[in-house]
């Protein structure tokens, strides 16, 4: 909605407002209590600009001007002396470091709670009850501000993601769990599915997708979550039970992303999306970022998940689609655009039967224990930049021929801070080299899988079988376990169908097992292969597939070449529908929820399920806030309300450097009677 610079200004001003209100609470309470306030500052460090009654505005502090007029420093002047010179006792300043603020009161020293001043108007001579009000007033002001911000936001309406499942990680609990009532409802596929609606977790309603994320992240380590899930086509909800695991963010989660709408993301400042649209042919037909797909295969489309049954119906053929540009309100503008959407294949997730030492990867992608070789997709800065090239295919790494992802990572882990001999395939030629491995066990490269080459990595002989309802899975032999295939073997044909890459291998397996799939029987296919070892080059081997393997192959979904991540989330509007009483109720409820969530975050920090790196300071808040501002002013107000509550909770913790610690000292002073 706003450009990045304006976003930055908005969030800095918003963060400044929170500090101003917090310190303003202390300031007004101190004035009410009759305490002399010497400074009111927003920010820390030296003053940028300041103002004092009787002195006016000054660059820097007003301290020098007061000394020049009176011959004394401001804090050395009594109230009568200040009044005689027409000078105010309080300096109001804006300071260089935007990381907080403070109110300086006569006789108060946060670093030394035992400091005592007996002067009139001193903090120390004020009754303890009034001092308690002064200390807690900043927290109270932030809570009141948060309630007000939430009320305004809900009166207007706040957009948030619906609790609809989009992408599901097959290696996380959401992709591996089996519904407790799956058999009763005739469900054979494990895991949550795109389009599922998560209505409750542990009995608590999930209003937005953020609630789902919070439920996972705030779960106690090892805690079982019970999910109630509504699935289109089922009359009863599914019940899933799963234990959250740490995801790529370092937080506990179940492994789901929010559902996506039918509109492409409009933000494409670096041109990445347009380049992708050109690569898959949609840009040639006129499709651009921000456009909306309105139909596919003749069916109306309102969400990305509705593409899946259409793609399945077209069975690999391009899907005719209709697109339109939309205005700021999401309404179609201009003439519709017809375009063909290319469809791609998917592959199995192959879980390791046993974890590989030194690394946390437990899955590969391929078919029946066969996976592609690893390729280098990008080379970062470092000693290997002139050595490795984008497009290199790794034929050998250390002691492993044709390493899989996990094997490559394990080899690198064993050579941290050293070197590793490698053989790569570059422009059809084998190149030997010695690469540097950093202390983290990395080459400073991005890697992918060489789907465009009909070569296999070292086969996986043992796999983890499908989990039962309790999440337990036994190890089983993979279908290729007895074929004596080695890494770097080339796949030439399936029966008489030539193989040129992994897509053609996938299609050939489907075509030659179709009859078995339709009759529910096992299948045997002949693979023509070329081994990398001299004297055993060309050979045919028989791949035996059980009936379940055949079904698993044919049930692998086809997907649009347009990934879900390019589409905007499915939004809902949290609103009081113009009812101020309802807005007030929603404001109080949201404030209570955020207070509880903040305390839970601190609890999980102690328990270790939330890392210190997840706790963001002012710089992190500005970074997130700049992104939040893109979603509109009401969401920015909502976000500032959340931060205001967090500020209140953190400031009232019972530790010496914040208001809660000072309040605790006052309680102690009251109990001791001094």
Which tens digit of pLDDT belongs to each residue from 45-54? 899 999 999 9
Residues whose CB is less than 8 angstroms from the CB of residue 230 and which lie 6 or more positions away in sequence, other chains included: 196, 197, 199, 237, 238
Beta strands in 89-180 (DSSP E): 91-105, 158-161, 165-168
CA 354, CA 361: separation in Å to the nearest integer? 11
The answer on pLDDT for 626 being more than 80 is no
Q: Could you read off the pLDDT of 62-100 as tens digits, one per residue? A: 999 999 999 998 888 888 888 899 999 999 999 988 778
Beta strand pairing call for 348-351 and 158-161:
unpaired
Query: In terms of pLDDT, which residue wins out, 252 or 115?
Result: 252
CA 271, CA 279: separation in Å to the nearest integer? 12
CA 660, CA 649: separation in Å to the nearest integer? 9
pLDDT average, residue stretch 190-201: 91
How crowded is residue 46: how many other Cβ atoms within 10 Å of its Cβ? 11
Q: Could you read off the pLDDT of 144-167 as tens digits, one per residue? A: 998 999 899 889 888 888 999 988
Element (H, E) at 423: strand 419-426
Look-up of token digits 């975050």: 601
Q: Is it true that 165-259 and 261-346+560-565 share their CATH fold?
A: yes
CA dihedral 329, 331, 334, 340 (to 10 degrees): 120
Give the Å distances, CA to CA, from 328 to 19, 331, 530, 653, 669: 34, 7, 57, 44, 59
- Cβ pair 652, 666 in contact under 8 A: no
- Per-residue b or e along 200-215, where b marks 16 or more CB atoms closer than 10 Å to that residue's CB: bbeeeebebbebbbbb
In CATH terms, is domain 261-346+560-565 a member of 2.30.42? yes
Look-up of token digits 């005719």: 320
Residues whose CB is less than 8 angstroms from the CB of residue 505 and which lie 6 or more positions away in sequence, other chains included: 367, 454, 491, 494, 499
Predicted confidence at residue 213, as pLDDT, reads 86
Predicted confidence at residue 587, as pLDDT, reads 85
Predicted confidence at residue 240, as pLDDT, reads 94
pLDDT average, residue stretch 343-348: 87
Q: Could you read off the pLDDT of 126-137 as tens digits, one per residue? A: 899 999 999 999
Provide the terminal-to-terminal Cα distance of the chain, rounded to the nearest Å: 57
Angle of helix 580-607 relative to helix 633-651, nearest 10 degrees, comes to: 50
Q: Could you read off the pLDDT of 263-290 as tens digits, one per residue? A: 998 887 778 888 888 888 898 999 999 9
Closest residue by Cα to residue 197 from 169, 221, 173, 231: 231
How crowded is residue 32: how many other Cβ atoms within 10 Å of its Cβ? 12
pLDDT average, residue stretch 321-347: 88
Closest residue by Cα to residue 570 from 213, 259, 142: 259
Radius of gyration of the chain (CA): 32
Whether the CA torsion 223, 251, 573, 588 is positive or negative: it is positive
Q: What is the DSSP code (8-state) at residue 565?
A: G
Whether the CA torsion 646, 647, 651, 655 is positive or negative: it is positive
Closest residue by Cα to residue 471 from 244, 232, 228, 195: 244
453: pLDDT confidence band, cut at 50, 70 and 90?
A: very high
| Tokens matching residue 553 | 């192959």
- Cβ pair 584, 149 in contact under 8 A: no
Query: In terms of pLDDT, which residue wins out, 669 or 293?
Result: 293
Angle at the Cα of 442 (from 439 to 446), degrees rounded to 5? 155
Q: Could you read off the pLDDT of 462-519 as tens digits, one per residue? A: 888 765 555 566 788 999 998 989 999 999 999 989 999 999 999 999 999 999 999 9
Predicted confidence at residue 238, as pLDDT, reads 94
Secondary structure of 119-164 in the HEC alphabet?
Answer: CCCCCCCCCHHHHHHHHHHHHHHHHHHHHHHHHHHHHHCEEEECCE
Predicted confidence at residue 280, as pLDDT, reads 85
Q: What percent of the chain has pLDDT over 90?
A: 39
Averaged pLDDT of the chain: 85
Counting Cα atoms < 13 Å in the Cβ hemisphere of 520 gives 0
pLDDT average, residue stretch 445-463: 91
- Cβ pair 456, 487 in contact under 8 A: yes
Domain ranges across the chain: 109-157+575-674, 165-259, 261-346+560-565, 348-556
Q: What is the DSSP code (8-state) at residue 164?
A: B
How distant is the alpha carbon of residue 361 from its chain centre? Answer: 19
Q: Which CATH superfamily is domain 348-556 in?
A: PDZ domain (2.30.42.10)
Closest residue by Cα to residue 69 from 50, 51, 57, 82: 82
- Cβ pair 425, 393 in contact under 8 A: yes
> Which listed CATH number (2.30.42.10, 3.30.365.10, 2.30.130.10, 3.40.50.720) goes with 165-259?
2.30.42.10
């Amino acid at each position: 909605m706003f450009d990045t610079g304006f976003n930055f200004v908005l969030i800095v001003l918003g963060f400044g407002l929170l500090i101003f209100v917090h310190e303003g609470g202390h300031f007004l309470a101190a004035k009410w209590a009759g305490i002399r306030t010497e400074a009111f500052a927003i920010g820390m460090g030296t003053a940028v600009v300041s103002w004092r009654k009787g002195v006016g505005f000054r660059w820097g502090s007003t301290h020098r001007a007061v000394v020049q007029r009176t011959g004394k420093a401001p804090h050395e002047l009594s109230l009568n002396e200040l009044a005689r010179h027409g000078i105010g006792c309080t300096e109001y300043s804006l300071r260089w470091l935007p990381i907080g603020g403070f109110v300086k009161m006569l006789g108060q020293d946060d670093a030394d709670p035992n400091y005592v001043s007996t002067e009139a108007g001193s903090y120390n001579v004020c009754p303890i009850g009034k001092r308690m009000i002064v200390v807690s007033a900043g927290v109270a002001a932030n809570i009141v501000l948060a309630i007000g911000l939430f009320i305004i936001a809900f009166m207007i309406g706040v957009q948030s993601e619906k609790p609809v499942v989009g992408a599901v990680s097959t290696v996380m609990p959401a992709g591996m769990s089996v519904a407790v009532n799956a058999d009763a409802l005739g469900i054979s596929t494990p895991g949550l599915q795109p389009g599922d609606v998560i209505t409750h977790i542990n009995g608590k309603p999930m209003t937005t997708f953020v609630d789902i994320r919070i439920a996972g992240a705030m779960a106690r380590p090892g805690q079982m979550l019970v999910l109630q899930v509504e699935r289109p086509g089922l009359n009863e909800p599914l019940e899933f039970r799963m234990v959250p695991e740490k995801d790529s963010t370092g937080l506990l989660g179940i492994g789901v992303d929010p559902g996506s709408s039918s509109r492409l993301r409009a933000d494409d400042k670096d041109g990445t999306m347009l380049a992708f649209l050109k690569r898959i042919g949609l840009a040639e037909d006129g499709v651009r970022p921000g456009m909306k797909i309105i139909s596919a295969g003749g069916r109306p489309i309102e969400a990305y998940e509705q593409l899946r049954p259409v793609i399945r119906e077209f069975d690999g053929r391009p899907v005719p689609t209709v697109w339109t540009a939309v205005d700021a309100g999401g309404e179609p503008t201009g003439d519709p655009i017809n375009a063909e959407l290319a469809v791609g294949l998917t592959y199995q997730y192959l879980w390791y039967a046993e974890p590989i030492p030194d690394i946390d990867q437990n899955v590969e992608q391929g078919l029946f224990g066969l996976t592609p070789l690893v390729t280098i997709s990008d080379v970062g800065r470092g000693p290997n930049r002139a050595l490795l090239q984008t497009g290199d295919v790794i034929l050998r790494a250390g002691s492993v021929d044709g390493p899989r992802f996990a094997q490559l990572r394990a080899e690198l882990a064993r050579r941290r801070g050293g070197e590793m001999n490698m053989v790569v395939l570059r422009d059809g030629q084998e190149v030997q080299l010695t690469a540097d491995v950093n202390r983290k066990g990395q080459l400073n490269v991005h890697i992918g899988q060489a789907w465009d080459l009909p070569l296999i990595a070292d086969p996986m002989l043992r796999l983890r079988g499908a989990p039962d309802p309790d999440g337990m899975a036994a190890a089983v032999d993979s279908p290729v376990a007895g074929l004596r295939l080695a890494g770097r073997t080339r796949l030439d044909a399936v029966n008489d169908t030539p193989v040129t890459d992994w897509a053609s291998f996938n299609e050939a397996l489907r075509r030659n097992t179709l009859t078995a799939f339709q009759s529910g029987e096992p299948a045997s296919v002949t693979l023509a292969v070329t081994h990398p070892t001299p004297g055993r080059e060309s050979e045919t081997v028989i791949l035996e597939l059980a009936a379940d393997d055949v079904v698993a192959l044919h049930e692998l979904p086809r997907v649009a070449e347009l990934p879900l991540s390019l589409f905007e989330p499915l939004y809902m509007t949290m609103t009081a529908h113009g009812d101020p009483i309802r807005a007030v109720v929603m404001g109080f409820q949201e404030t209570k929820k955020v207070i509880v969530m903040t305390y839970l975050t601190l609890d999980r920090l102690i328990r270790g399920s939330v890392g210190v790196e997840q706790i963001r300071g002012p710089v992190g808040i500005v970074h997130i806030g700049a992104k939040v501002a893109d979603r509109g002013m009401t969401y920015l107000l909502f976000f500032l309300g959340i931060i205001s509550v967090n500020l209140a909770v953190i400031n009232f913790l019972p530790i010496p450097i914040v208001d809660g610690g000072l309040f605790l000292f006052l309680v102690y002073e009251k109990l001791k009677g001094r």
